[in-house]
C-alpha cells in the first residue's frame, strides 16, 4: 500500500476503551493520542494490565474503540464496516503476538504464505514471496519444518515473516519477546533492527526494557494513559567497559 | 587491571605481554577497546617484584621489542587457586539513589518522580548501548556473554526504578 508523504501512517486521537458500567467502569485505554510516522519504531512500555495490549488491538482494528478515533493509512477505522475493516487490516497491518499463533500442522513456509493466499495472490507468487522472506529472516533452510521442530526464537521469526508477507504499512507487535529466553530475544531484536533499517514502520507494546531501548521512540503507559515519552537518539555513552566494572 | 586476572591468564602457559593482551581483547570484545595497553605491563612488573611471576628474556628478534616471557611462580599459582575459590561479587550501589529520593522529597528540593524519570532515561541509554554491542557480536562469543550480563543487570535496575515510581506515586498522592 502507498501513502501520501508527510502523513502519519497511524494516528489516534482521544482514544478510549471502557469495560463495565457505573461503579465497575474500567478505562483500559484513557484518552490516548498518537502519531506514528512512516519508518518509525515506537515502543509502548508499561506493566501488565496498563492497557497496552488493548491499545494495540484498537490501533490495528481488531477491536472497536468506545470513544475517539484511529486513522490507518488515512482511513478512519470507526467509519468502516466490518468487511472493509477486515480488508484494511489484511492489507495494511501485520500482527505479531507473544504466543506466535502459527498453525501447527503447516510448515514454516506454508504459515508465511497463508495470508498472501487469503489476500488472493496466486499460489506461485505467494510461494515466491514466502521464500524471499524466509531467506531474509535467515530460516531458508527451515522452510519445510513444522513449528514444533523450531526453537522459540525461530517460531517468532517465522511469525514476523508472516506479518510481512502482504507488505503491510505497519507491523504491530504485542509482547513479541514475552515467551523467549535472552538468546532468542536477541534474534528477534536483530530482526526488528533490520526491518527498521529497511524502512518498516513498527509499533511494539512490551514490558521488556530491551526492546524499548532499541526503539527510536519510547512511550510509557500507566493506567490506560501515556505518561512519558523519550527519544533515545544521539550518540552512545561510549563507556561500555565501565558498565562491566572495567576501569577506563 | 586486577592482578589476579592477569595471573590467571598466565596459568595456561608462559606468555609474552602482548599475548596476554590479545587474550583479554578476545574475552572482552568491544568492552576492552578503552583499555590502556600499558596497564598490563605495569601489573606484570608489579607482580614480578612481588614474586608472583618470573620473567625470562627470550632470544629476541630485532623487529619485536617485546622479548620478555612471563611465567607463574609457585606463589603465583597459589594466588590463582585462591582467587578461583573465592566467592566475590560486585556490590550494587542502590542506597545512594534511594537516599537521594528520600532527601529530595523531605526537603522539597526536587520531585522524586522527576529524578526517577531522569535516572530511567540514563539507564535506557546505557541499555541501548549494551544491546547494540550485543547485537553486533557473533552468536556465543565470549564478549557477547559479558554484554548479556550488563543487559540483564540494567534490566533489573530498570525494574527497581519502576517499583520506585509506583511507590513514590502513591506517597505523593497521599
A79: domain CATH number is 3.40.50.300
- What whole-number percentage of chain A has pLDDT above 70? 94
ipTM, 2 dp: 0.78
Residue owning grid cell 501515556: A226
Domain presence at residue A242: no
Per-chain mean pLDDT for chain A:
90
CB atoms within 10 A of CB B52: 24
CB B33 within 8 A of CB B145: no
Residue A3 lies in a domain: no
**Whole-model pTM?**
0.83
Residue B1 has pLDDT above 60, yes or no: yes
Q: Would residue A125 count as lying in a domain?
A: yes
Full domain range(s) for residue A156: 10-232
- What is the pLDDT confidence band of residue A78, given thresholds at 50, 70 and 90? very high
Residues of A with Cβ-Cβ distance to B154 under 8 angstroms: 209, 243
The 10s digit of each residue's pLDDT in A7-47 is 789 999 999 999 988 888 999 999 999 999 999 999 999 88
Q: Do B162 and A193 touch (CB under 8 A)?
A: no
* pLDDT tens by residue, B102-132: 999 999 999 998 899 889 888 998 999 899 8
**Segments making up each domain of chain B, as ranges:** 3-85, 95-173
Among candidates B32, B90, B127 on the partner chain, residue whose Cβ is nearest the Cβ of A209: B127
| Inter-residue contact B65 to B10 (CB < 8 Å) | no
Pairing assessment for the beta strands A75-76 and B53-57 based on DSSP bridges: unpaired
Query: Per-residue pLDDT tens for B11-32?
Result: 989 999 888 988 888 899 888 8
Grid coordinates representing A67? 470513544
Q: What is the mean pLDDT of residues B50-69?
A: 78
Contacts of B130 in chain A (CB under 8 A): 240, 243
Continuous H helices in chain A: 52-59, 82-92, 108-118, 123-136, 152-164, 182-197, 209-214, 240-243
- Per DSSP, B90 falls in state P
Number of folded domains that form chain A: 1
Identify the CATH number of the domain defined by range B3-85.
1.10.10.10
Amino acid at each position: 500500500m502507498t501513502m501520501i508523504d508527510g502523513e502519519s501512517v497511524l494516528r489516534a486521537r482521544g482514544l478510549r476503551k471502557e469495560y463495565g458500567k457505573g461503579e465497575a467502569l474500567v478505562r483500559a485505554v484513557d484518552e490516548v493520542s498518537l502519531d506514528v510516522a512512516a519508518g518509525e519504531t515506537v515502543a509502548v512500555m508499561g506493566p501488565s494490565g496498563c492497557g497496552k495490549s488493548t491499545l494495540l488491538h484498537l490501533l490495528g482494528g481488531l477491536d472497536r474503540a468506545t470513544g475517539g478515533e484511529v486513522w490507518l493509512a488515512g482511513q478512519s477505522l470507526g467509519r468502516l464496516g466490518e468487511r472493509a475493516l477486515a480488508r484494511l487490516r489484511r492489507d495494511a497491518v501485520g500482527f505479531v503476538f507473544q504466543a506466535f499463533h502459527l498453525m501447527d500442522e503447516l510448515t514454516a513456509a506454508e504459515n508465511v504464505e497463508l495470508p498472501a493466499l487469503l489476500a488472493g495472490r496466486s499460489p506461485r507468487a505467494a510461494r515466491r514471496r514466502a521464500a524471499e522472506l524466509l531467506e531474509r529472516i535467515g530460516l531458508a533452510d527451515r522452510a519445510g519444518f513444522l513449528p514444533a521442530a523450531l526453537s522459540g526464537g525461530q517460531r517468532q521469526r517465522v511469525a514476523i515473516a508472516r506479518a510481512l508477507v502482504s507488505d503491510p504499512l505497519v507491523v504491530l507487535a504485542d509482547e513479541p519477546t514475552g515467551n523467549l529466553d535472552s538468546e532468542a530475544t536477541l534474534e528477534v531484536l536483530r530482526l526488528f533492527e533490520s526491518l527498521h533499517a529497511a524502512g518498516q514502520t513498527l509499533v511494539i507494546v512490551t514490558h521488556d526494557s530491551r526492546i524499548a531501548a532499541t526503539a527510536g521512540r519510547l512511550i510509557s503507559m500507566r493506567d490506560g494513559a501515556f505518561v512519558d515519552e523519550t527519544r533515545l537518539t544521539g550518540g552512545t555513552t561510549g563507556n561500555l567497559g565501565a558498565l562491566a566494572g572495567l576501569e577506563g | 587491571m586486577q592482578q589476579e586476572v592477569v595471573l590467571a591468564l598466565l596459568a595456561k602457559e608462559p606468555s609474552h605481554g602482548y599475548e596476554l593482551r590479545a587474550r583479554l581483547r578476545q574475552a572482552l570484545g568491544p568492552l576492552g577497546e578503552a583499555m590502556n595497553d600499558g596497564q598490563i605491563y605495569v601489573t606484570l612488573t608489579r607482580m614480578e617484584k612481588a614474586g608472583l611471576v618470573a620473567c625470562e628474556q627470550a632470544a629476541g628478534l630485532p623487529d619485536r621489542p617485546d622479548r620478555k616471557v612471563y611465567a607463574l611462580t609457585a606463589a603465583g599459582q597459589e594466588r590463582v587457586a585462591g582467587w578461583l575459590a573465592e566467592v566475590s561479587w560486585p556490590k550494587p550501589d542502590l542506597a545512594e539513589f534511594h537516599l537521594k529520593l528520600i532527601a529530595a522529597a523531605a526537603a522539597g528540593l526536587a520531585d522524586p518522580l522527576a529524578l526517577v524519570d531522569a535516572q530511567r532515561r540514563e539507564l535506557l541509554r546505557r541499555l541501548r548501548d549494551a544491546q547494540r554491542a550485543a547485537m553486533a557480536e557473533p552468536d556465543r562469543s565470549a564478549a557477547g556473554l559479558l554484554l548479556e550480563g550488563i543487559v540483564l543487570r540494567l534490566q533489573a535496575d530498570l525494574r527497581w526504578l519502576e517499583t520506585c515510581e509506583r511507590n513514590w506515586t502513591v506517597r505523593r498522592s497521599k
